[in-house]
Amino acid sequence: MAFEEITKPSVSDMKETPNLIDYQSTREDFDWYRDGFSGLDWLPDGGLNNAYEAVDRHVNNGKGKQKALIWIGKNGDEETYTYSQFKEESDKFGQVMKNLGMQRADRVFIFMDRIPELYFAAMGILKAGGVIAPLFSAFGPDPVRDRMEDAGASFLVTTPELKSKIDTMLPDIKTLQKVIVIDKSDTANIKTDEKTLLYKDLMKNVDATNFILEPTTQYDFSIMHYTSGSTGKPKGVLHRHQAVVQQWLTGKWALDLKEGDIYFCTADPGWVTGTSYGMMAPWTNCVTQIIYEGGFSAASWYEIIQKYGVTVWYTAPTAIRLLMRAGEAVVQRYDLSSLRFIGSVGEPLNPEAVVWGNKNYKMPIHDNWWQTETGAIMCANYATTNIRPGSMGKPFPGVTMGILDDQYNELGAGESGILAVRPGWPSQMFAYWQQDEMYNSRFKKGWYITGDQASIDEDGYFWFQGRADDVINTAGHLVGPFEVESALIEHKAVAEAGVIGKPDPIAMEVVKAFVTLNPDYEATDQLRRELIGFARDKLSAGVAPREIDFIDVMPKTRSGKIMRRLLKARELGLPEGDTSTLEDDG
Ligand code: AMP
Decide whether any atom of ligand 1 lies within 6 Å of the 375 Cβ. Answer: no
Q: What is the CATH code of the structural domain delimited by 470-572?
A: 3.30.300.30
483, 234 Cβ separation under 8 angstroms = yes
The DSSP-derived string for 19-56 is S---HHHHHHT--IIIIIGGGS---TTS---HHIIIII
Tell me the Ramachandran region of residue 502: left when phi exceeds 0, alpha when psi lies from -120 to 50, beta otherwise.
beta
Phi, psi of 135 (to 5 degrees): -120, 150
H-helix or E-strand spanning residue 79 = strand 78-82
pLDDT tens by residue, the chain, 586 residues = 578 999 999 999 998 999 999 999 999 999 999 999 999 999 999 999 999 999 999 999 999 999 999 999 999 999 999 999 999 999 999 999 999 999 999 999 999 999 999 999 999 999 999 999 999 999 999 999 999 999 999 999 999 999 999 999 999 999 999 999 999 988 888 999 999 999 999 999 999 999 999 999 999 999 999 998 777 788 999 999 999 999 999 999 999 999 999 999 999 999 999 999 999 999 999 999 999 999 999 999 999 999 999 999 999 999 999 999 999 999 999 999 999 999 999 999 999 999 999 999 999 999 999 999 999 999 999 999 999 999 999 999 999 999 999 999 999 999 999 999 999 999 999 999 999 999 999 999 999 999 999 999 999 999 999 988 889 999 989 999 988 998 999 999 999 999 999 999 999 999 999 999 999 999 999 999 999 999 999 999 989 999 999 999 999 877 778 889 899 999 998 877 666 555 543 3
Identify the CA nearest to 454 among candidates 510, 392, 385, 372: 392
What is the Å distance from ligand 1's center to 369 Cα?
6
Decide whether any atom of ligand 1 lies within 6 Å of the 272 Cβ. Answer: yes
Residues comprising the chain, all counted: 586
Helices and strands (DSSP H and E) totals, the chain: 19, 27
CA distances from 559 to 266, 406, 582, 585 (A): 43, 23, 9, 15
Give exposure, 357-382, as e/b (b: 16+ Cβ within 10 Å).
Answer: bbebbebbbbbbbbbbbbbbbbbbbb
What is the amino acid identity at position 476?
G
Q: Among the atoms of ligand 1, which is closest to the Cα of residue 466?
A: 12
Q: Enumerate the domain spans of the chain.
A: 11-456, 470-572
Is the dihedral angle over the CA atoms 338, 341, 346, 350 positive or is it negative? Answer: positive
The DSSP-derived string for 394-460 is EEPTT--EEEE-TTSPBP-TT-EEEEEE-S--TT---EETT-HHHHHTTEETTEEEEEEEEEE-TTS
User: Which CATH homologous superfamily contains domain 11-456?
Assistant: ANL, N-terminal domain (3.40.50.12780)
Q: Among the atoms of ligand 1, which is closest to the Cα of residue 467?
A: 12
Decide whether any atom of ligand 1 lies within 6 Å of the 451 Cβ. Answer: yes
Ligand 1 pocket test: which of 382, 473, 479, 509 has the largest number of ligand atoms within 8 Å of its C-beta? 473
Is 473 strand, coil or helix?
A: strand
257, 281 Cβ separation under 8 angstroms = yes
**β-pair partners for 452:** 467
pLDDT for position 1: 52
Distance, CA of 62 to CA of 52 (rounded, Å):
14
316, 267 Cβ separation under 8 angstroms = yes
What is the Å distance from ligand 1's center to 352 Cα?
19
11-456 against 470-572: fold identical: no
What is the Å distance from ligand 1's center to 186 Cα?
39
Decide whether any atom of ligand 1 lies within 6 Å of the 227 Cβ. Answer: yes
Is the dihedral angle over the CA atoms 250, 271, 269, 121 positive or is it negative? Answer: negative
Decide whether any atom of ligand 1 lies within 6 Å of the 464 Cβ. Answer: yes
Q: Among the atoms of ligand 1, which is closest to the Cα of residue 237?
A: 2
Q: Among the atoms of ligand 1, which is closest to the Cα of residue 373?
A: 2
Is 210 strand, coil or helix?
A: coil
Decide whether any atom of ligand 1 lies within 6 Å of the 374 Cβ. Answer: no
What is the Å distance from ligand 1's center to 277 Cα?
15
What is the Å distance from ligand 1's center to 477 Cα?
9
